[in-house]
Amino acid sequence: MTKLTLGSHPYLLGFEQLERLLERNAKSGNEGYPPFNIEQTSDHSYRITLAVAGFGDEELSITVEDRQLLIRGRQRDEDEGRVFLHRGIAARQFQRSFVLADGVEVAGAALENGLLHVDLERAEPEKMVQTIRINRT
């Protein structure tokens, strides 16, 4: 018995890239830090909010590489000369990744009260009807 995958299903043509994106995202190593929310703000827009308390905007980076949104944080080590009796606030680096569908673009980002908001917009696809001419051979 042959196992059908998304890319090999006979009625889904050209979806091999989607299958590769799903596999890559599953292996990306996203752990539970930092916590985040994803909300739909309208029919064509979304907002990802990450809890990044302690990070300044110069310690955060947002990039899109091959339809993958990467959000990274790395705090500078400014603990020289400080003596901690207890250290419960983590100052660790992180990387979060999200796969973006075709047509979804980053509209902007803002850091507010320890929360990083990344706004996404999806362009409405044009409706197109194409008639294919049949040639005689």
Query: Tens of pLDDT along the chain (137 residues)?
Result: 556 666 666 777 777 777 776 676 666 555 688 999 999 999 999 999 999 988 999 999 999 998 899 999 998 777 678 888 998 876 689 999 998 988 899 999 999 999 999 999 998 878 889 999 999 98
Q: What sign results for the dihedral spanned by CA atoms 17, 21, 23, 27?
A: positive
Domain layout of the chain by residue ranges: 30-79+88-122
Q: 99 with 89: CB under 8 angstroms?
A: no
Per CATH, is 30-79+88-122 categorized as 3.40.50.920?
no
